[in-house]
Structure 1
Amino acid sequence: MINKIIAGNCVEILNKIDKNVIDMVITSPPYDNLRTYQGYLFDYKLIAQQLFRVLKVGGVVVWVVADATINGSETGSSFEQALYFKSIGFNLHDTMIFKKQNPIPQIYRKRYNNEFEYMFVFSKGVVKTHNPIKIPCLHAGLELRKTTYKNFSKNEQKREKIANPVKKDKIKGNIWEYVVGKKIEDQAAKGHPAPFPYQLAIDHILSWSNIDDIILDPMCGSGTVCKSAQDLGRKFIGIDISEEYCDIARSRLKANLQLL
């Protein structure tokens, strides 16, 4: 299955994969019937169980999801899914935010415009690989009379002088902003109803995996994760129940190989 796009029910396909062989999973399931997915339904509990089985100890699952608003209330299904992942043995390693720089305008419903989705990062045990993305410090190199950093101790919180001058860079925060559907690399994914940005997949794959690791997307849609893994020197497995979307993914990967 390595470096292939496989058409079929992901639970059935995952059941054929050996346990403890996948280094990282990144996927975005259809949620709350916000968009039709060719009539297919997904049982996130069965998918979560299979992902726990095939994932290596120390591996992570990045689960990109949001909630619909129905009858004036958000469904909360994203939280239900996160709690279920925890109940079967996953750690909720981080709750990250995918903030859209160009969110779709919504009809006023006495609420603020929805601009984000959750990116739950689940781990199987202690995370093995983290290659943190860093950003420049606002006051890099500045000489200060006093530079204080919070000490994350379990008991009394103290501040100690530990760095002067200000460091050049720091680890990026867990709110990541992307333009959706506008960049050139995202244009080929528009045959799918809900692709997420290519750069989002790139950033997560860089963060949680190394070269030659196996990256799995069990609901791969138009193949953004698989293309990103290919570009970064990782192996991939893509699964989708829609043959139409699998064809889009295969076309993108074929074109990508020609460019590479």
Structure 2
Amino acid sequence: MKRLIFTITICLAASFTFAQSTPADSARNTIDTTTTHNKHVKVKLGFGDDVPQVNINSNGPDTTYHAHKAPGFSFGVTFSRIDLGFATLIDNGSFTLSDKNKFLSYRQWKTSNFGFDVLQFGYRFNSAFKIYVSGGFDWTHIRLRNDITIQRNAPVLTYVQDSIHFSKNRFSSTYLRIPLSFYYRSHEDDRGNYFRLVAGPEIGILLNGRVKQISEENGKQKFNDDYHFAKLRKGVFVRMGYGIMGLYAKYYFNDMFENSPDQKGLRNFSFGLTFGF
């Protein structure tokens, strides 16, 4: 929880800084690097939609800052679409876990989803519409209720019942996320804010699974394995909001776990707040 609070603080601070900057300030923050052909390519670190526009023409890329959101391609390193919310398990269409999955009983208010994007490439059609593909990271932390240990290197997802009590028993997955976003924004109001709607498909590539436990007997322990998490997950997402903050929801069509028949039909749904989108 302390980590989540710290993340929110950083996001809001970055948002405030960006809101106070002007196009000229943004241009001064551009990093100018020279290629071997003496061509200049400008790369800017941005927050939210603050990514430089690159117009492709016969004379090479034009990386001039365009405040009027002219059509063109864009590429940038960013820290955006910061999702902070809850994760929910859906067992064959039900929010109640079946008997085979009761060992995954979890504390809803401590089961979280967190993620953000660090790269994006896209094309803007006009000030209202654009499409882009991005890359980032996504974590799902399941806070287990039971004093169990999910087993590593097991033929199927399995566990053992422990004789000690865990003050924290967290079952987590980390994915590289690659969403394809269709972006719409309304006209700016008098305050310079506008409504945004972003939706599209998303794929995730498994990076790691982890069990983290804290107990008086063993202290803090961490165990890494793939834990039969789906190596490739496919889903859809939607984000909508006003200003720098909004709401998001994500649903994955394939099962959370693979090669584990008892978990067939167990899927992941996440929702919460999103920043810098």
Coarse TM-score class (shorter-chain normalised): under 0.3
Give the structure with the higher percent strand: 2
From the two aligned structures, give the one with the greater helix fraction. Answer: 1
* TM-score for the superposition, normalised by structure 2: 0.22
Structure with max Cα Rg = 2
TM value normalised by structure 1 = 0.23
Structure of higher RCO (CA pairs closer than 8 Å, 6+ residues apart): 1
